[in-house]
Amino acid sequence: MIRPLLALLCATTLLATLGPTRLTAAPPAGFESAIVPGLNNLNGPTAFTFLPGGAMLIATKPGQLLLYSGGSLRGTPVFDRVASICANSERGLLGVAVDPLFEINRYVYVYYTFNKHGSCSTNVASTDPVNRVSRLTLSEQLTTAAETVLIDNVPSPNGNHNAGDLHFGKDGYLYVSTGDGGRNDTARQLHNLDGAILRITRDGAIPPGNPYTGSDSARCYDPSPGGNKDGFVTPGMRCQEIYAYGLRNPFRIAFDPNAAGTRFFINDVGQGNVEEISAGQAGADYGWNCYEGTNLRKTDGVCNPLPQNTIAPTFEYKRNPTPNGQPDYFNDCASITGGAFVPAGLWPSTYDGAYLFADYVCGRMFVLLPDGGGYTSALFDGAAGAATHMAFGPDGALYYANIGAGDIVQVRYTGSANRSPTARLSATPDFGEAPLTVAFDASASSDPDSGDSIDTYRWDFGDGTILDTTTPFATHEYRANGIYDVTLRVRDSRGAFSANPATMRIDVGNDPPTPEILAPANGATFTVGEQITLRGSASDPEDGSLSGTQLRWEVRRHHDTHYHPYLDATGAEVTLSGPAPEDLAAVRTSWLEIRLTATDSLGRSTTVTRELQPQIVSLRFETEPPGLQVSVNDGVGTLTATTPMTVETWPGHLLTFSAPAGQSAGGTAQQLCGWRHGGEPTHNWGAPIADTTYRARFAPAGSTCPAQVGDVRVFVPLGD
């Protein structure tokens, strides 16, 4: 079996050679990072690519494809799908690629979540949004002249695990990554497009050499007239678009520019234990959801029998790794994101064959360095932020999209040249009535070069006053009402100024608004699928009551030490559907954070927050006769235990009740006949609002099961 051999390689060659590394908040010596001028405060940059000539196309989560050219961002989007994209949770415009023959055919490709049924709810099967891949034909003015759908109806039922990357290989074919939609088992099914790497031609056809093109295969999405548009085929058949499968959420894939042919890595986001990087191979099964990385996690259901010849990751790192002997720079990391191979000759020879990757949760960037047939890891940048996508540009610099800050960042190799310092700025107070005296503090500014210091702080107070100081502190009095944009640049002892100024806003005569969350009430709870109303208002000392267009809601779905976006909407009142827990292990560690931001007519904002916790219900399982085993599956994994067994979850959480075969009581083999609450021996059941006992009814194997006793819909409350 392939996996155990590679598992040993990962555990020894890749990990044992790693030593402790001090966390740093900048790239290593010889490198410099800075925000690309004009590419800050973007609305959720998810991915980018470069056109011939160096112009950059930037995909934003809400659904616009932006053009950055000649040092400025064009006001008119290249592509605008905001009105028909679902951008809640982890959905949105997630990927973009340029055709290698762009100068001939004008083709650009995008991956986005389409609002197919007019609803962006989650867990509502009849209205699920879908992920799709479209080919855009751009005009000479670089706006969309035509859109052709090449892949469609990849389900997005839960909002997460959408994947969303696309790239051309050196073979001239388009590779696309799809997630399992949070359904997990579907990643093992070759009759749908979930949890896979797909490969198609630029016209959506099936390339020669795709692994599933025999008589037991068919197109799962055929863009030609009359072709199958379902996104799946009959179970037992296999999708011809699939190149590799068994992936959870391969959010980013990266292709090696140094390879003679098509070589790529897959960054697959883990469930709760392992983040993994795998080498792309035709026909490969990467093992999810039977394996998570090299960890065996499931042996029943679709994993019974356990699949053979699954491919282990090339590299993996574990969450909360301290007990596992990993370097401390992986502490708190929990979601692998962007990746890029270093082009040969751009950086020092130490980086030949190197691979960079980032983690969304801990905000760091790492490098894998070839080492005797394997790789060793090192921290590259301890403050890369939420780097959702990275790629090398035509100028030889590394670029990455920081979705958290809304920036596109450039990383350059500088060698022994003096690197620019970084300016940091704070102020107290930052609003008030004139005359207003403000104390400024730049003591958090820093220089990346050992031995260098900052000798000049250049303040532009926004009212025409510019001041140089040799200390990081300054005061300034504002005598007239107005909005003042303050900038600070710092200079080091060798004459280099900060590449990006630090900025902040001072409001004189304009007090911030006061928002209030009216619903849900403080201390309220939610259930799965519940329609939750968010209602708010805000007043402003100068504007009075603010309108709904000035109120923005953000909902964060927290899990353990990190969170994922769940909702972004505007209005005095919006609704959302209560999510299910990610899995049964997350029942006690997950919750929603409600954030309401009010912005006044002059652009001053205030944010208030509220926790919204889930209701938790206990489900007790018993058997007749007592002491047998039952199984509860939450769509992610199966919990099997000897009764009595108690499981905690959220009301409305859809579970599957069953029992393992081959059990006996008193030496007599048993078969599961049914349940006191009704239902087949194996059936789905939504968790109730109250603590409940469920009793599984067994009978001797081969005998006739007795008739159901009593009302099959009646629950037996705990304690009865």
Domain residues of the chain, as ranges? 2-413, 426-508, 514-614, 617-717
Given a cut of 80, is residue 122 above it in pLDDT?
Answer: no
SS3 content of the chain, % helix, strand, coil (to 5): 5, 45, 50
Do residues 365 and 380 lie in contact, with contact meaning Cβ atoms separated by under 8 Å?
yes
pLDDT tens digit sequence for 488-528: 999 999 999 999 999 999 999 999 999 999 999 999 999 99
pLDDT of residue 425: 97
Do residues 314 and 373 lie in contact, with contact meaning Cβ atoms separated by under 8 Å?
no
Given a cut of 80, is residue 716 above it in pLDDT?
Answer: no
pLDDT tens digit sequence for 652-705: 999 999 999 899 999 999 999 999 998 889 999 999 999 999 999 999 999 998
pTM of the predicted protein model: 0.85
Do residues 27 and 380 lie in contact, with contact meaning Cβ atoms separated by under 8 Å?
yes
Do residues 341 and 391 lie in contact, with contact meaning Cβ atoms separated by under 8 Å?
no
Q: Are strands 264-268 and 274-279 parallel, antiparallel or unpaired?
A: antiparallel
CA angle 121–653–662, rounded 5-degree value: 135
* pLDDT confidence bin for 582, thresholds 50/70/90: confident
Q: How many CB atoms lie within 10 A of CB 281?
A: 16
Given a cut of 70, is residue 1 above it in pLDDT?
Answer: no
CATH code of 2-413, in short, is 2.120.10.30
pLDDT of residue 125: 64
pLDDT of residue 708: 63
Mean pLDDT, the chain, integer: 92
Of 10, 5, 4, 94, nearest to 44 by C-alpha is 94
CATH 2.60.40.640 fits 514-614, yes or no: yes
Measure the CA–CA gap between 674 and 700, rounded to whole angstroms: 13
Given a cut of 80, is residue 3 above it in pLDDT?
Answer: no
pLDDT tens digit sequence for 318-354: 986 555 678 889 988 999 999 999 999 999 999 999 9
pLDDT of residue 564: 85
Given a cut of 80, is residue 233 above it in pLDDT?
Answer: yes
Measure the CA–CA gap between 297 and 288, rounded to whole angstroms: 9
Q: Which helix (H) or strand (E) holds 686?
A: strand 683-686
DSSP bridge partners of 110: 96, 134
% the chain with pLDDT above 70:
93
CATH code of 426-508, in short, is 2.60.40.10
**Beta-carbon-side half-sphere exposure of residue 629 (alpha carbons within 13 Å):** 13
DSSP reduced 3-state for 84: helix
Q: Do domains 2-413 and 514-614 have the same CATH topology?
A: no
